[in-house]
């Protein structure tokens, strides 16, 4: 069972949660002034990193709150979760497994 740390409820099973895609994407203040390319980038273009990824998650079958999670897309390890509105934490000290080792394991 995969456990996620809800900032309000603590560690709970992943089946109680729902993922809402990449975090920290601000809606443009004046959409009418954007050209098609800029609007398309806001709507569809994502960083899709190999490594740490900031994502929105909702504790849907729990407290119902949205929060953000820093997840390693290689190992699926959730390094940190934090409340909406808080800045992306500096996880440079996080113990991230070496992708090469994960792949060969």
What are the angstrom distances between the C-alpha of 40 and each of 24, 32, 45? 17, 13, 7
The token pair that represents 62 in the structure block: 């729990």
Site string for other proteins, 9-48 (x = CB under 8 A): x--xx-xx--------------------------------
Longest dimension (CA), the chain: 50
Tokens of 81: 């979760």
Residues 61-80 touching other proteins, rule: CB under 8 A, are 61-65
Q: Contact positions toward other proteins, by CB under 8 A?
A: 1, 8-9, 12-13, 15-16, 61-65
Residues that bind Zn ion (CB under 5 A): 6, 8-9, 59, 62-63
């Amino acid at each position: 069972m995969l456990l996620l740390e809800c900032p309000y409820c603590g560690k709970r099973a992943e089946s109680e949660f729902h993922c809402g895609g990449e975090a920290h994407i601000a809606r443009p203040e004046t959409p009418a002034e954007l050209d098609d390319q800029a609007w398309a980038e806001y709507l569809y273009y994502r960083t899709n990193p190999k490594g740490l990824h900031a994502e929105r998650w909702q504790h849907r079958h729990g407290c119902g709150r949205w929060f953000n999670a820093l997840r390693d897309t290689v190992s699926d390890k959730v390094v940190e979760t934090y409340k909406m509105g808080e800045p992306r934490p500096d996880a440079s000290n996080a113990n991230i497994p070496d992708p090469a080792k994960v792949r060969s394991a």
